[in-house]
Amino acid sequence: MSMQIDDDQIEIIQEFVTESRDMIEQLEPAIIELGQNSDPETINAIFRLFHSMKGSAGFLEFDHLTRVAHAAENLLDLIRNKEIELVPDHVNLLCASCDFAKEALDMIESDYNDDSMVSAADDISEKLHQAIERGKNPELQAAEEDAPKAPAPTSQALSVDNAEAAEDGFPQMEITEEMRLSFVQEGNELLQNAEQGLLLWGESPEDKDSLGEVFRHIHSFKGNCGFFGFSDLEKLSHQMENILDRAKSGSKLAVDNPADQLLASLDILQQGINNISEGKTDSINNLHDHIEDLNRLVAPLLGDFLVEEGVLEEAISTAVQTQKKPVGEILIQQGSASKEQIDTALKKQLDNLNKAKAEVKPAARTKTPAKRQDIRVELGKLDNLINLIGELVIAENMLIHNPDLKGLELENFNKAGQHMSKLVRELQEMAMTIRMIPVSGLFRRMIRLVHDISVKAGKKVDLQLIGEETEIDKTVIETITDPLVHLLRNSLDHGLETPAERVATGKNEKGTVRLSARHEEGEVWVTIEDDGRGLNRAKILEKAISKGLIEGDGSDLTEKQINNLIFAPGFSTAAQITDISGRGVGMDVVKRNLEKIKGKIDVNTTPGKGTRITLRIPLTLAIIDGMIVRVGTTTCIVPTLSILEAYRPEMDQITITPDGAELARVRENFFPIVRLHEILDKEPDSRNLSDGILIVLEYLDSRFCLFIDEILGQQQTVIKGLSDFIGTVPGVSGCTILGDGGVSLILDVGTLVESADSKKLDSEDVE
Amino acid sequence: MAEDLTMTNLDNEDTQKDKYLTFHLAGEDYGIEIRYVIEIIGIQNITEVPDMPSFIRGVINLRGKVIPVMDVRARFNLSDRDYDDRTCIIVVNVEGTEVGLVVDEVSEVADIPENHVEPPPKTSKDSEGSYIQGMGKINNDVKILLDVHKLLYSGEMQELSASLDEQ
């Protein structure tokens, strides 16, 4: 690896790193799932992932990563073949392997080799081997007994040499790439022909020729599979062959036309072939179910029922040999069975047929879905595209509302303009959806977290994920990842009680944490809900008072305000700092990150019943609905989301406190007034409050009134950052370009409150 | 292909060397290296931004890009003058950051070879001395060559960005 690495190789390596990261991300939740139910499908999925990682890493000569992946694969293989009982230790070990792989990938990304991971790799693979040894020894014999179909790779699994690591996943036999290719090719042809034959047969069941053809194709396919050792495919095709054989010889099948069922099985075979061509194993998910399905197609034989009815087996077989007449008649002739016996048997046969008919799923054709085509695009390019479209929206506005056109009768121009507006709108919506990705990735990452914490904290947790398909802007997902982690930690560490406590309070020993996402009121709501003990208000108040976060005894605070105290930096009611939580940092992170994306947090809690925390996030970051307001000659944008109402105040609604603060009465409440012209340092039309407009704004839970001259209108605005050169401006979150090409500042409601407060303090100082 | 590109780049560097965009400001002639200059636009509506040093006049919309605008007169503590139709904004790009510079009038692109450039007067106690890269001589005219980087970042702007970093 010391040779010069050229650009091509770097590209390949980078691709490998991103791909492997994706794989690990998928892998982790599956591993945790494994701990809960060892469904063979899951094991196979994990096995495949490790296997492909091993393959790619081996190809790129990342020996240590290969070694670990190989060891993990060995363990999984043994579990898969039921030679080793799955124990929780294995789950942890596999998680550790994932962690190792992540670290190794980081290393590879920066240094293009994984040499520095030697000791870690040694450690992990050693542990994996130990696990294999331990799992194996007590059951070595049993393992040999029940593994007749796939000889366990016992002999070589333990010697994990690097050279061997790159070897293929089919230890039983040497299959060259060429052979595999020709198998895939031939298999494809056979299956295609079989499918055509089946379709023909399905249309005209009398057509025995096509049936015979199907039978031949399936038969050769089975032979090929057997030769290459693809045992799952072989089994399934064998079962199909049986059925076809029966159909060919004219026996009754459970359904009049089993072609549909057979086609479904063909699809499964096709999938198997696809997998093989991609270098994966031939394992078929739910193989057993599929074979069962096929079995139901086979009509039970009359003879079986006759035996049940007490008719001698010998007699039946003689009868069967005579064959020309229906079995029943022969038996009666022979006197070996009474008419009644036969009747009952026939009835039974009929019943059974009907039952089988009902059981066979009606044409369960799951055609291999068209492969979803994805391309990886650099995020920067996408952002540029979205910026360009944002500019297009502005340019379109400037064109359609061009002052030069004023007063002109332009029928055709207007038509064309409307058409363009529609297209631009659609383009914009489309562009926004490109950035949207489902939250499932984020949610699935939490499975691992919850697993780890529940083990550490000794709690039993059932994590439910709801609305995984909800799509959120990629940046938003990145921003809420940390908050979610902190919130979940809190739920698990503080919210949920220990199993003993839960049982004592009559709850299920296993706590439930529900993580859900959904669209609501033009926002995305991500909710974390637990059925734990709920927030302890008294404790929160006590702590807040002792920390000086609130004045007085807190009796004047609303429930909501008390709940929101938990978001204060450094706030924690935990008596003890555990390694999971208690430092009082987490909730502050939650609040800050949510502020960044203009989100809100709702806290609902019922003592003893649980807590629900809802993160309310605007659908997109790049575009907001804004109200255009004017102060003097300046226009600004106020995000519509924060506006509760706007009105022209009467002087008797205004109260001025002795220290000079102005308060506006809105129905039963008094809100402080912030004068926008003071913040922007502008000359307003009038300083008289009753000449202007007050907009009631809400930020988290504080409300205030913003005094402006006039509301000019409402507009969808594309948010642009102020230049880096200027940096952050208090009171301003960004800017946008208006229809006339001018720049307008977007007000930051959050910092407006603070700057209003500080201004108030300044004026008090002067006094 | 790649070689061709580097060749053209070299050519560009060559053609830009020793070339300065010169402009008038309060009776003096100034010059800035042409490689920083992106374009020259007429004065347009500037949106003020609160809490900025006085010489940052605000932001403008340059074909969909929002860029800050600095008044060079105010930067040098020269007296204010109303903008007229000769007032220009020179858009410069310094290390990826685009900024507009308001000047009285743009004159020309001048060739000032290295040996015609004198080092800045060391004795100057005036604070603006720090923005000067050198004094360029063309025949009998003297052009004050400005260091664009320092023009943008030294002094108050430095403090501003430093305080931002602390936050």
Contact B60 A743 (CB under 8 A): yes
| Distance from C-alpha of A722 to C-alpha of A732, rounded to nearest angstrom | 9
Those residues with Cβ within 8 angstroms of residue A95's Cβ, 6 or more apart along the chain or in another chain: A28, A31, A32, A448, A451, A452
- Does residue A364 surpass a pLDDT of 50? no
Q: What percent of chain A has pLDDT over 70?
A: 76
DSSP state of A310: T
| Distance from C-alpha of A25 to C-alpha of A763, rounded to nearest angstrom | 55
Give the tens place of pLDDT for each residue, A224-265. 777 777 777 788 888 887 777 777 776 656 565 667 777 777
| Distance from C-alpha of A158 to C-alpha of A570, rounded to nearest angstrom | 51
Q: Evaluate whether A695 touches A638 at the Cβ level (below 8 Å).
A: yes
**Helix H or strand E segment including A703:** strand A702-708
Q: What is the pTM of this model?
A: 0.48
Interface of B with A in 4-43 (CB under 8 A): none
Q: For A454-466, what is the mean pLDDT?
A: 84
Q: Which of A386, A424, A630, A743 to mutate to test the interface with B (most CBs of B within 10 A)?
A: A743
Interface of A with B in 629-668 (CB under 8 A): 634
Beta strands in A396-497 (DSSP E): 436-438, 461-466, 471-473
Q: Which chain A residues contact residue B63 at CB under 8 A?
A: 391
| Distance from C-alpha of B59 to C-alpha of A726, rounded to nearest angstrom | 9
* pLDDT number for residue B102: 92
Q: What percent of chain A has pLDDT over 90?
A: 2
* pLDDT number for residue A629: 92
| Distance from C-alpha of A692 to C-alpha of A677, rounded to nearest angstrom | 11
- The alpha-carbon gap from B55 to the nearest alpha carbon of chain A, in Å, equals 12
Instruction: Report which of residues A556 and A510 the model is more confident about.
Output: A510
Instruction: Report which of residues A675 and A183 the model is more confident about.
Output: A675
Contact A743 B51 (CB under 8 A): no
Q: For A476-489, what is the mean pLDDT?
A: 86
Q: For B85-89, what is the mean pLDDT?
A: 89
- Does residue A289 surpass a pLDDT of 80? no
Q: Evaluate whether A110 touches A116 at the Cβ level (below 8 Å).
A: no
Give the tens place of pLDDT for each residue, A679-696. 888 888 888 888 889 999
Q: Which of B51, B64, B97 sits opposite A725 (nearest CB)?
A: B97
Give the tens place of pLDDT for each residue, A422-457. 898 888 778 777 878 888 888 888 887 888 888 887
- Does residue A641 surpass a pLDDT of 60? yes
DSSP state of B126: S
Query: 3-class DSSP state for residue A627?
Result: strand
Task: Please state the ipTM of this predicted complex.
Answer: 0.77
Range in A192-196, A743-747, B52-56 with the lowest mean pLDDT: A192-196
Nearest to A691 by CA among A656, A651, A657, A661: A651
- Does residue B7 surpass a pLDDT of 70? no
Q: Which chain A residues contact residue B48 at CB under 8 A?
A: 634, 680, 682
- The alpha-carbon gap from B51 to the nearest alpha carbon of chain A, in Å, equals 7
Interface of A with B in 725-744 (CB under 8 A): 725-732, 735, 737, 741-744
Give the A:B interface size as CB pairs under 8 Å. Answer: 73
Q: For A660-680, what is the mean pLDDT?
A: 85
**Any chain B CB within 8 A of the CB of A310?**
no
**Helix H or strand E segment including A714:** strand A710-718
Instruction: Report which of residues A149 and B91 the model is more confident about.
Output: B91
Q: For B107-134, what is the mean pLDDT?
A: 75
Give the tens place of pLDDT for each residue, B12-43. 556 777 889 999 888 888 999 998 999 999 88
| Distance from C-alpha of A52 to C-alpha of A60, rounded to nearest angstrom | 12
Give the tens place of pLDDT for each residue, A588-638. 888 888 887 778 788 888 888 888 888 888 776 666 778 999 998 888 999
* pLDDT number for residue B167: 41
R_g of chain B computed on alpha carbons: 17
**Where do runs of H (alpha helix) occur along A37-86?**
40-59, 63-80
**Any chain A CB within 8 A of the CB of B59?**
yes
* pLDDT number for residue A234: 80
Query: 3-class DSSP state for residue A269?
Result: helix
**Residue recorded with tokens 């009611």:** A573
CA distances from A477 to A376, A621, A665 (A): 18, 11, 39
**DSSP bridge pairs for A736:** A744
| Distance from C-alpha of A478 to C-alpha of B114, rounded to nearest angstrom | 51
**Any chain A CB within 8 A of the CB of B50?**
yes
* pLDDT number for residue A153: 40
- Does residue A115 surpass a pLDDT of 80? no
**Any chain A CB within 8 A of the CB of B152?**
yes
Q: For A484-488, what is the mean pLDDT?
A: 87
Give the tens place of pLDDT for each residue, A694-740. 999 887 667 888 999 999 888 777 777 777 788 777 778 888 887 67
Contact A391 B97 (CB under 8 A): no
Q: Which of B47, B149, B163 to mutate to test the interface with A (most CBs of A within 10 A)?
A: B47
